[in-house]
Amino acid sequence: MSKYKRLVKRKRKDAVNPRSAPTAPEKSRPYQFGDFDIIAVNMQPSTSDWARFMYTVGSWLMPRTGDKKLIEIMQPVNGNRSDVWTDNIKECIGWLLSGEKKVVFDMKAAKKQKEAERKAKKAAKKRPRHSTVS
């Protein structure tokens, strides 16, 4: 008998036969709403502190474009406490239990606000300036 054991790769019972597998690429991180109650984000990349976390309610995350049942892969995370992000897990649990509905970032509202700001800026440029002559 060999000094080394032969490694045998076993197939899982639920494994898909590669010849019959669908050819469409699998979506990255296909998490659905309801998969998570609370999301904890480690803030180490921006704070260099492995112990710092921000929390939000899972149902408040942005939906994926094209499939509203899935959670968008990239989410905006506020490094400071806000009305949708907190560094206090107890506060986040309270938000979850309250049943309040929010969104971490409302793209439609942001686009409306940006359009309104653009129109206001354009209107301000058209207004005649008052010159003061002494």
What are the domain boundaries of the chain?
29-105
Rounded CA-CA distance 73/80 in Å is: 21
Q: What is each CA distance from 112 to 41, 77, 120, 122, 124, in whole angstroms?
A: 28, 21, 12, 15, 18
Q: How far is CA 57 from the centre of its chain?
A: 11
pLDDT of res. 91: 97
pTM over 0.85: no
For residue 3 the two structure tokens come to: 């000094």
pLDDT of res. 37: 96
Q: What is the pLDDT of residues 18-56, one digit of tens each?
A: 555 555 556 677 899 999 999 999 999 999 999 999 999
Q: What is the pLDDT of residues 63-82, one digit of tens each?
A: 998 899 999 999 999 889 99
Q: How far is CA 59 from the centre of its chain?
A: 10
For residue 82 the two structure tokens come to: 């806000």
